[in-house]
Structure 1
Amino acid sequence: MDFKEELKIRANYAEEIIKKYMPEEVGYQKTIMEAMNYSLSSGGKRLRPVLTLEACRIVGGDTDNAIPFAAAIEMIHTYSLIHDDLPALDNDDLRRGRATNHKVFGEAMAILAGDALLNFAYETMLKESIGKENPERYLRATYEIAKGAGIYGMVGGQVVDVQSENMQIPKEKLDYIHENKTAAMMVGCMRAGAAIGGADEKQMELITDYANKIGLAFQIVDDILDIVGDEAKLGKHVGSDIENNKSTYPSLMGLEKSREIATELIEDAKRSISKVTDDTGFLDGLADYILSRDH
């Protein structure tokens, strides 16, 4: 398998799914749809929708049933980026090489666009679940995504991240931030896809371990790229962690040790997923890509 070509094909498919679920820009409130769609259409790796569909597939499910959840997870991810970029949080002007949402639509509309995307994600998941066979699978999938995005997941991690600025924190606390702020959404989307596909609890446990470890590795690599990355490739400012005096893996462990830890996580993740399916080519490739990426 040519992994990069396969990822491109799957990311393009995810783009088509996202376009299908974008709200129509009409009505008195059409500005909010424009703001939502501006950020939804800004590209990106689309890893979360890809992982949602792949988790469903490897447990023998029909991936068509997971399509609305693939769209919804990207809506939630996009809302989190809009809010992260706001002046009260990261205060970023660029995202994926484009002006951030609040720079185009203003802070008030950017806040509302994030709120709207979060709510529209749940509307999408629940609407598309009505009338399906095995309704408990779709309820479980919605729960998994909600948990990954909420106070026991992404939002919880973001809270501790904000409270930890301008101070040195122990590795255990940094792991909590990374595992919740970043990895929890990968866990949520893969558990959602697996639930729709009818996974048993052992499969769920192994898929969770894979997702958690690639998510943690993803954030460690992000921390590394904030020091050594190319702004042109990243499409955003580098060095913000140092400027904001944030604790990161490189600041606590050094660059070389951080790379070693990320490598160990990726190898452990691959071992876990190999116990779910023999068809691990794509997920192995994705794990390796996360480790070696430069943007």
Structure 2
Amino acid sequence: MNNDNINRYEMQFERDRVHVEAVLDKCLTPPHGHQESSVWQAARYSVLGGGKRVRPILFLMTFRMFHRDVPEYVYRFAAAIEMIHSYSLIHDDLPAMDNDDFRRGQPSCHKVYGEGVAIIAGDLLLNLAYETMLDASDPAFSEACRCAMKTIAQASGGRGMVLGQALDLSLENACFSAVTIEDVEAMAKMKTSALIAAAIEAAGHLSGASEKELFDLRLAGQHLGLAFQIRDDILDGIELSDQFGKTRHKDERDGKKTFVTVAGQKEAISLLSFHTEAAKNTFLRLQRRGRHVDGLMELTRRLKERTY
């Protein structure tokens, strides 16, 4: 891909980020009379305080594989996916979970608002996400919206993120000698990869993708989600940027079972390349069916090479 196309997609990613931020800001307006409510302020703090917006941008770029123009209701779905991701981060940072004091370059939600408010702020975001998708659903595409919401719900709950978090907690109590890289991958596939894959697949549902295309979108998302987590694990232990946004070297310090702490950095880098190439090859299979995948290919490259 030449530099002109790279710059074009960079501008598109930024336009999408700004648009999603505006939708999030509007959706997170507290009810009349409750503007100062701590739970709403905590939710706004956590969602609007930064972030790469990887999942909504992947969602929107996947939609553009099939349609040039993006309707407003699709942006609302994208914002809802970011709300679900943000809820998971609030809960993940709690002392009973990963116990992290920093997120997105600022104190974690519970450090600012307290644990109780942080918990219900996460609850608010999860519920608000589904309100937002239901309000956004286009009557002309009701079945497509239903399938998209089901995909997102399954990835977020006891078959996806929630189960992945439970597996992560169970691994914390296991000896390193008893944990395999397959255990770590199984956990990451649900805790991290599930929502990334769901964002890509849900966009396919809204776009009217065929069953073969949905299968490939789901597969590409699973590989991309694992690559994203592996890159996160690698970045935890190296100093490439001051924009990482989380506490560095925390995985090793706390005995977390990650791709790096279990398999070593060299093997983690190898797995990062494997899953990135697998995602790209799946996107290329869609390209051979006439779909426009250059934006997703560029985003995949950026996610592999990111420093924060």
Q: How does the TM-score come out when normalised to structure 1?
A: 0.94
Counterpart AA for 1:259? I
Task: Give 5+ residue unaligned stretches, structure 2.
Answer: none
CA contact (8 A) 1:101 1:110 kept: yes
Shift of 1:116: 0.5
Shift of 1:114: 0.3
CA contact (8 A) 1:144 1:188 kept: yes
Shift of 1:112: 0.5
Match of 2:299 among 263, 266, 286: 286
d(CA) in 2 for partners of 1:56, 1:162: 35
Kindly indicate whether residue 52 of structure 2 is the aligned counterpart of residue 45 of structure 1.
yes
Match of 2:70 among 63, 74, 84: 63
Shift of 1:166: 4.2
Counterpart AA for 1:116? L
Where 1:247 maps in the other structure, the secondary structure is: coil
Counterpart AA for 2:70? T
Shift of 1:288: 1.0
d(CA) in 2 for partners of 1:216, 1:10: 23
Kindly indicate whether residue 26 of structure 2 is the aligned counterpart of residue 16 of structure 1.
no
Match of 2:136 among 93, 117, 128: 128
d(CA) in 2 for partners of 1:213, 1:276: 15
d(CA) in 2 for partners of 1:205, 1:143: 15
Paired position in structure 2 for 1:138: 145
d(CA) in 2 for partners of 1:221, 1:229: 13
Shift of 1:10: 2.6
d(CA) in 1 for partners of 2:85, 2:158: 15
Where 2:40 maps in the other structure, the secondary structure is: helix
Where 1:232 maps in the other structure, the secondary structure is: coil
d(CA) in 1 for partners of 2:240, 2:248: 8
Shift of 1:133: 0.6
Paired position in structure 1 for 2:117: 109
CA contact (8 A) 1:234 1:294 kept: yes
CA contact (8 A) 2:251 2:261 kept: no
Q: How does the TM-score come out when normalised to structure 2?
A: 0.90
Deviations 1:47-100 (A, max 9, x none): 111111122221337521312210110110000111111111122211111111
Shift of 1:4: 4.0
For this pair of structures, how many residues does the alignment match? Answer: 294
Counterpart AA for 1:146? A
CA contact (8 A) 2:188 2:229 kept: yes
User: Which one is further off, 52-61 or 33-42?
Assistant: 52-61
Shift of 1:25: 5.7
Paired position in structure 2 for 1:272: 282
Where 1:275 maps in the other structure, the secondary structure is: helix
CA contact (8 A) 1:141 1:195 kept: yes
Paired position in structure 2 for 1:227: 237
Deviations 1:261-282 (A, max 9, x none): 1112111111111222342221
Shift of 1:134: 2.6
Paired position in structure 2 for 1:147: 154
Task: Provide the aligned C-alpha RMSD in A.
Answer: 1.7
Paired position in structure 2 for 1:90: 98
Kindly indicate whether residue 196 of structure 2 is the aligned counterpart of residue 186 of structure 1.
yes
Superposed, 1:256-271 pairs within 5 Å as 256-271=266-281
User: Which one is further off, 47-56 or 80-89?
Assistant: 47-56
Match of 1:241 among 243, 251, 255: 251
Where 1:220 maps in the other structure, the secondary structure is: helix
Shift of 1:26: 3.9
Q: Assess, with a 3 A threshold, how the Cα gap between structure 1 residues 8 and 128 changes in structure 2: closer, same or farther.
A: closer
Where 2:278 maps in the other structure, the secondary structure is: helix
Shift of 1:127: 1.9
